[in-house]
Amino acid sequence: MITGHFKTDYSADEGIWSNWPKRWGLVAALIGLAIFPFIASNYALLLAGQIGIFIVAVVGLNVLIGYTGLMSLGHGAFFAVGAYTTVAIHHEWPLTFPLITLVISTIVAAAFGVLFGLPSLRVKGLYLAVATLSANFIILFLIEQEWLAEWTGGISGTETPNAVFFGVELVSQQAKYFFIMPVMVLMLLFAQNLFRTRFGRALIAIRDKDYSAEILGIALFSYKLKSFAISAAYCGAAGSLWAYFFPAILPEDFGLNMSITLVVCLVAGGMGRTLGPIFGTILILLVPELLKIVAANITGGDATAQTWVSPTRDILFGLMIIGFLIFEPMGLVNIWDRFWRFMSRWPFAK
């Protein structure tokens, strides 16, 4: 993770992209995102939509863990808050503009983030991770209660609305893709710029040594709660997109397994870096799909024989986490950096 900014002039400090691979990589990525829905199958668009939604959530978790140094295992609950807030809004006001719903869901999730971030003022590390588990249990418990079933559907789940823009209902995977990806790109750019500000650098100072940051005049109480709020807000936005993306949601979709998946994506990609959540999410979400393809080729589509896919996936995930922690604790993004450092030695890169 980045621990310093080594700039020699103001123009370098003001620049977002410090070298040509980053600048042209962004251009290539945007062009690829624009072309992809016109050449991809519905299955590929389904995967791309899920990856885009998870990237938004993992970027939010990166704000908290990667940049502020506060651990959380409860962000699946904030994901749920965003999704169910979107459903509740459309239940009461069916014609609400989707972007307004997205903003409201984000704000509500941020409020829950502040509430469950209060333990961070007293504890940190493993103790904070255990404390944040309460968010998962409490929020999912509330969602399943009968007195909220009118909006949440209770334990049986509920149907979700389709986003409608100016009379056009987003039903196809391609249409949903064009709703999700711009939101993802904008939230990535916001996170990229956040840590070029005084606020973002204060969070980094808290991560490195919180008591030293306090001596320098950084208000730990305020900054930690704001970090929780921003992180939960990102997960709330992801939950809102999730509600528009899938035809129905269940409380079990947002359990501890989702919270752990978000953390695994961040660890695999690299904490404290903008590209880390992107690399990690793509890797973690594509591994199960690749296993399904391999299983289908080996077993010839025999459903009984494919029962080994799920345990194999869990074992592989465990081995991947151990492997990253031992051999590449800074994640895939560090491999990416080493590759471009190697490429920069060649004459054409000058």
* pLDDT tens profile 237-286: 999 999 999 999 999 889 888 998 999 899 999 998 888 999 999 998 98
Q: Point out the least confidently predicted range of 1-15, 35-49, 76-90, 313-327.
A: 1-15
Spell out the long-range contacts of 122-127 with Cβ–Cβ below 8 A and sequence spacing 24 or more: 124/69, 124/70, 124/71, 124/210, 125/71, 126/71
In this prediction, residue 146 carries a pLDDT of 83
* Amino acid in the structure at residue 336: W
Please classify residue 337 by burial: count the beta carbons closer than 10 Å to its beta carbon, then call 0-12 exposed, 13-18 middle and 19+ buried. middle
pLDDT at 249: 92
pLDDT, residue 180, reads: 95
pLDDT grade for 8, boundaries at 50, 70 and 90 = low
- Amino acid of residue 139: I
CA 291 to mean position of chain CA atoms = 23
For residues 122 and 256, give the distance between their C-alpha atoms in angstroms, rounded to a whole number.
Answer: 23
Token digits of residue 42: 């519905």
Q: Mean pLDDT across the chain, nearest whole number?
A: 85
293 vs 20: which has the higher pLDDT: 293
> Quick one: tokens of 98?
């989707």
This prediction's pTM = 0.90
Distance separating alpha carbons of residues 26 and 47, to the nearest angstrom: 21
The answer on pLDDT for 99 being more than 60 is yes
Over pLDDT 70: what percentage of the chain? 88
Model confidence at 322, in pLDDT bands (50, 70, 90)?
confident
CB 273 within 8 Å of CB 2: yes
Buried b (16+ CB within 10 A) or exposed e, 9-18: eeeeeeeeee
Query: What is the token pair recorded at 72?
Result: 């959380």
At 123, the pLDDT band (50, 70, 90 cuts) reads: confident
User: Which phi and psi angles does 277 have, rounded to 5°?
Assistant: -60, -35
Pick the residue with more confidence: 24 or 64? 64
Tokens 């750019």, located at residue: 189
Spell out the SS3 assignment of the chain: CCCCCCCCCHHHHHCCCCCHHHHHHHHHHHHHHHHHHHHCCHHHHHHHHHHHHHHHHHHHHHHHHHHCCCCCCCHHHHHHHHHHHHHHHHHHCCCCCHHHHHHHHHHHHHHHHHHHCHHHHCCCCHHHHHHHHHHHHHHHHHHCCHHHHHHHCHHHCEECCCCEECCEECCCHHHHHHHHHHHHHHHHHHHHHHCCCHHHHHHHHHHHCHHHHHHCCCCHHHHHHHHHHHHHHHHHHHHHHHHHHCCEECHHHHCHHHHHHHHHHHHHHCCCCCHHHHHHHHHHHHHHHHHHHHHHHHHCCCCCHHHHHHHHHHHHHHHHHHHHHHHCCCCHHHHHHHHHHHHCCCHHHC
Indicate the pLDDT class of residue 301, thresholds 50, 70 and 90.
Answer: low
